[in-house]
Amino acid sequence: LAILFGLWILVDYGGSYAGEFYAGWLTEYSLSVDNLFVFIIIMSRFGVPRKFQQEALMVGIILALVFRAVFIAVGAVAIDRISWIFYLFGAFLIYTAWTLTRHDDEEYKENRLVTFTQTHLNATDQWHGLKLVVKENGSRVITPMLVVIVALGSTDILFALDSIPAIYGLTEEPYLVLTANIFALMGLRQLYFLLGGLLDRLIYLSYGLAFILAFIGVKLVLHALHENELPFLNGGEHVPVPEIPTLLSLGVIIVTLVVTAVASLIKVRKDPEAAQSSSL
């Protein structure tokens, strides 16, 4: 569907917008796959019964769409009103890329919100289907499903902080940003059940994502310099630096994802224990 939507943009609005959409969609899709990896860990961590995983995943995807829509709107306003925002976006993405190379991004650690929910609210360890609150011994208690939803939602917020600045580095059109996110997240439900085992084999995924984020971060900084209005930098005048075209960005993203996937599968084939150690 995303490919067909991109073709429609190509026919009606031209190759430039189509290239921006495809680059944004691929970037968001790759980041969403990383998000999906954490979803799988959360499901395993809280022991979600398989018959309830589809519903829990759907809630996680809906929350991701809501949070990203909010960040997209905020980002559009920030870009329109704050001339130096691309410096901030670029620096943040470069920093995020650096952290991905130093830490295991797939390792899930319960955040303060999840810990607060478990320790300060009256919770039960017993599953009650899809119910979020039930009565036990005459008092209301929250179920593990509610704790899982809190975990998924808080994780969605953290991933939105990375993904939205990244796609704004590829297109400044809020409509393309939103549709790219929608199509990227739409495919996660099928991927969760089809590729759950394969995701463990993508041991170099974090490095590929780090390179993509760093590349887009540099692209944002170059764009910010080209449109510079900061008075203490070059007297508030534009800095004559080259800008990275959209087609080059699209090519870099595609090549990076292919190389990351192929290198991961080759490594796992030669050393099967690498997949197991990367998922611990």
Q: What is the pLDDT of residues 212-251, one digit of tens each?
A: 889 888 988 888 887 777 777 777 777 788 888 878 888 8
**Taking residues 56-82, what's their average pLDDT?**
85
- CA-nearest of 52, 36, 54 to 196 is 36
How many CB atoms within 10 Å of residue 95? 13
Number of domains in the chain: 1
Q: Which segment, 31-35, 49-53, 113-117, is predicted with the most confidence on average?
A: 49-53
Q: What is the pTM of this model?
A: 0.73
Given this model, what pLDDT does residue 194 score? 64
Given this model, what pLDDT does residue 196 score? 58
User: Residue 255 — very low, low, confident or very high, per pLDDT cuts 50/70/90?
Assistant: very high
Quote the CA–CA distance of 122 and 47 in Å, as a whole number.
19
- What rounded mean pLDDT belongs to the chain? 80
Asked whether the beta carbons of 27 and 165 are under 8 A apart, the reply is: no
Quote the CA–CA distance of 152 and 203 in Å, as a whole number.
22
Statement: residue 8 has pLDDT above 90: yes
Given this model, what pLDDT does residue 108 score? 54
Instruction: Give the contacts of 121 (CB within 8 A, at least 6 positions apart).
Output: 142
Given this model, what pLDDT does residue 105 score? 45
**Secondary structure (DSSP) of 161-229:** HHHHHHHHTT---HHHHHHHHHHHHHTHHHHHHHSHHHHTT-TTHHHHHHHHHHHHHHHHHHHHHHT--
Given this model, what pLDDT does residue 44 score? 75
**Taking residues 81-110, what's their average pLDDT?**
75
User: Residue 280 — very low, low, confident or very high, per pLDDT cuts 50/70/90?
Assistant: very low
Statement: residue 64 has pLDDT above 50: yes
Q: Which domain holds residue 237?
A: 2-278
Given this model, what pLDDT does residue 185 score? 84
Residues constituting the chain:
280
Statement: residue 278 has pLDDT above 70: no
pLDDT in tens, 12-24: 988 889 999 998 8
Quote the CA–CA distance of 62 and 50 in Å, as a whole number.
19
Given this model, what pLDDT does residue 54 score? 81
Statement: residue 112 has pLDDT above 70: no
Quote the CA–CA distance of 203 and 76 in Å, as a whole number.
34
Q: At what angle do helices 144-168 and 205-226 cross, to 10 degrees?
A: 40
Statement: residue 120 has pLDDT above 70: no
Backbone dihedral angles phi then psi of residue 132, each to the nearest 5 degrees? -95, -30
Given this model, what pLDDT does residue 11 score? 92
Given this model, what pLDDT does residue 275 score? 56
Quote the CA–CA distance of 26 and 22 in Å, as a whole number.
6
Statement: residue 34 has pLDDT above 80: no
Q: Which segment, 51-55, 198-202, 262-266, is predicted with the most confidence on average?
A: 262-266
